[in-house]
Amino acid sequence: MKQSQLFTKTRKEAPKDEVSKNAELLIRAGFIHKEMAGVYSYLPLGLRVLKNIERIIREEMNALGGQEVLLTTLQNKESWQKTGRFDDAVIDNWFKTKLKNDTELGLANTHEEPLSALLTNFAKSFRDFPLYIYQIQTKFRNESRAKSGIMRGREFLMKDLYSFSRDQKEHDVFYEKAKNAYHKIFTRVGLGGQTYETFASGGSFAKYSHEFQTVTDAGEDIIYIDEKKRIAVNKEVLAPEVLKELGLEKKDLVEKKAVEVGNIFSLGTRFSLPLGLFYTDEKGEKKPVIIGSYGIGLGRLMGTVVEVLSDEKGIIWPESIAPFTVHLVSLLGDKVDVRTYADNLYLKLEKSGVSVLYDDRDLRPGEKFADSDLIGIPNRAIISERGMKDDKIEWKNRETGDIEMIDEKEFFRRVPRTVHV
């Protein structure tokens, strides 16, 4: 993509009503546009990042044996009434609407009920299970507080996977596999070192649920981390008996602020019983299906990356999810035809399948460099009159700031071939 053709522009200042770093930087860099509190549009650069996160998550869900679906956002209330969750006193962040005939509908905030009800039409025998079904779909939640940029939205993209197992043992085996898949996802998006498997309340479904919490001052949760064991306990369940059960010592724990970037729950038969999701076993006996749910908010994950991996100049994207892997920047020259060389280099990169953003704009070097730092593409290639005199390209690492002068052969050897959308 040529930067001159992008309809979005960088900004020196973020909106005055924006207080979160992730939204400030993403708005200034032209990745997102704020429609209203908790509601953001993803612009070309932002959508590319979101799609790269989506690709990584989809790969890991497919590796678990997941089958992808796309369920409806509009929900009839019957299934939810069977579980008692259509009541605003039970779930207080519903968005609800009505048809012209006054039939009340809900805008889905999660999908345990509709998917469990759907499966009663298809899965009835022990031979039909286990099943692992997921989607990546827009959710709606009427949050009372939407002040954390894209980390807490009223409209947001979510990956929700649901497991349907024949017994607790079968569920537990998959649950551990899902944990490992989550660790892989957070490592692949650049947050592995800062993200901890965290014990939290399991509510009425199980003794514990498991959150994946990323340490950042922008977080709303307090967790206590055993850094050697790389596990943590949410403040809500921190108690002597919990520490004893987990083999943790209070003296070994470090208190940190963190943001929840994923969660997994064992739900037991909480949804299968009221919705009639049973199977017939080998002996002909009717048994309820054991269910688990596994969620990741893609926008929240993207916002957390920005909170954690940025500096005073702007964003620092990991190569795996960056909108482009190379930012090609041409500087105007008086004596050497920099533009022609840069144009040709851009065509070569595109032809070889490299994901490249080409800054071909007629601006001063300082403006281009500031924009490049703000946008945060991990590798910068600068074509300048000074470099061309020695047949060199300036290669800069966004994270470290290291600069090298390399020839074109070395440049193409170094250019990442990371898979991007």
Render 11-60 in DSSP notation, one character per residue: -SS--TT---HHHHHHHHTTSEEEEETTEEEE-HHHHHHHHHHHHHHHHH
pLDDT of the residue at 417:
77
- pLDDT digits 0-9 by tens, 183-240: 999 999 999 999 999 999 987 667 899 999 999 999 999 999 999 999 999 999 999 9
CB 141 within 8 Å of CB 157: no
pLDDT more than 70, % of the chain: 98
pLDDT of the residue at 204:
66
pLDDT of the residue at 213:
98
Q: Across all residues in the chain, what is the average pLDDT?
A: 95
Query: Domains plus CATH for the chain?
Result: 3-311 (3.30.930.10), 324-414 (3.40.50.800)
pLDDT of the residue at 261:
97
Query: Cβ neighbours of residue 278 under 8 Å, at least 6 residues apart?
Result: 124, 272, 286, 287, 288, 289
- pLDDT digits 0-9 by tens, 128-152: 999 999 999 999 999 887 778 999 8
Alpha-carbon gap, residue 20 to 218, rounded angstroms: 8
pLDDT of the residue at 156:
95
pTM score, whole prediction = 0.95
- pLDDT digits 0-9 by tens, 295-353: 999 999 999 999 999 999 999 999 999 999 999 999 987 666 899 999 999 999 999 99
- What is the rounded (10 degree) CA torsion for 146, 22, 216, 320? 120
